[in-house]
Amino acid sequence: MKRIFITAVFALGSLSAFAQQEVIVIENAEVEATEAVATQDDFSEVSSDELPEAVTAAVSKNYPTASIDKAYTNEANQYKLEVSLEDGTAGTLYADENGNWIEM
């Protein structure tokens, strides 16, 4: 019974650990349009086409069955990659512009 209670406490605690995505709205007066820029932990979303070749090569080499779902970059030219594997698992990887893995 004690193990069930402890397991329930950890399960509920882990559910509240997810970060909220912050959305910043920038208005451009010249064009009279509103552009939404999504940021996450000082990372801004970029297209996977904008990733350096070294980063995509590192993903292909170390995770051959992975596909990059979303990519983010920050001012230090570090990349946050949300990837999914063929077996259905997903995760987040961090790399610098040279394709070296970073622990965050």
Residue 8 has pLDDT above 50, yes or no: no
pTM, rounded to two decimals: 0.60
**Which structure tokens are listed for 35?**
């552009």
Sorting pLDDT into bands at 50, 70 and 90, what band is 104?
confident
The ranges assigned to domains in the chain are: 2-96
Confidence at residue 103, expressed as pLDDT on a 0 to 100 scale: 87
Give just the sign of the alpha carbon dihedral 64, 58, 71, 90.
Answer: positive
How confident is the model at residue 94, as a pLDDT?
A: 96
- Buried residues in 80-95 as b, exposed as e (16+ CB within 10 A): bbebeeeeeeeeebbb
What are 33-56's pLDDT values in tens digits? Answer: 334 444 456 899 999 899 999 999
CA 74 – CA 41 distance, rounded (Å): 9
